[in-house]
């Protein structure tokens, strides 16, 4: 079964500290992984796709197939990064259905 696990419900760091939001997935095929962000009372926005290998707002994520992980990282957190972050998976060749993790709230303190 396809599953996405975000073990931390809340991650609290100080401004300028490194951030790592953990994401592990369960899928036997070739998954497509995403990170979405939801700022307070706003819509979900696509942050990163693993196939793009891009850096957005200083965030990066590397797909590690051996560890079945797709952790989101940023070297220096900013207060405006405070939001809910969702890791999501879709299975290749299917209907495009996204399976989301439980979400991690990132709180960046001044």
Partner 1 sequence: DTAVSQTPKYLVTQMGNDKSIKCEQNLGHDTMYWYKQDSKKFLKIMFSYNNKELIINETVPNRFSPKSPDKAHLNLHINSLELGDSAVYFCASSQERLNPGLNYGYTFGSGTRLTVV
Binding-site ranges for partner 1 (CB under 8 A): 30, 32, 34, 36, 42-46, 49, 51, 84, 86, 90, 92-93, 95-100, 102-103
CB of 56 to partner 1, least distance (A): 12
Taking the least distance from each CB to partner 1, the nearer of 4 and 77 is 4
CB of 68 to partner 1, least distance (A): 18
Taking the least distance from each CB to partner 1, the nearer of 94 and 110 is 94
Taking the least distance from each CB to partner 1, the nearer of 29 and 110 is 29
What is the rounded distance in angstroms from the CA atom of residue 47 to the CA atom of residue 93? 22
CB of 18 to partner 1, least distance (A): 24
Contact between 10 and 25 under an 8 Å Cβ cutoff? The reply is no
Which pair of structure tokens corresponds to residue 56? 């957005």
């Amino acid at each position: 079964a396809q599953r996405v696990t975000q073990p931390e419900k809340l991650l609290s760091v100080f401004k300028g500290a490194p951030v790592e939001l953990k994401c592990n997935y369960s899928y036997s095929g070739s998954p497509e992984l995403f990170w979405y962000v939801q700022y307070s009372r706003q819509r979900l926005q696509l942050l990163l796709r693993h196939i793009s290998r891009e850096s957005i707002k200083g965030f990066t994520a590397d797909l590690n197939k051996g560890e079945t992980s797709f952790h989101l990282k940023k070297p220096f957190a900013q207060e405006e990064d405070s939001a809910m972050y969702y890791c999501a998976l879709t299975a290749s060749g299917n209907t495009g259905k996204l399976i989301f993790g439980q979400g991690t709230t990132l709180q960046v303190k001044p």
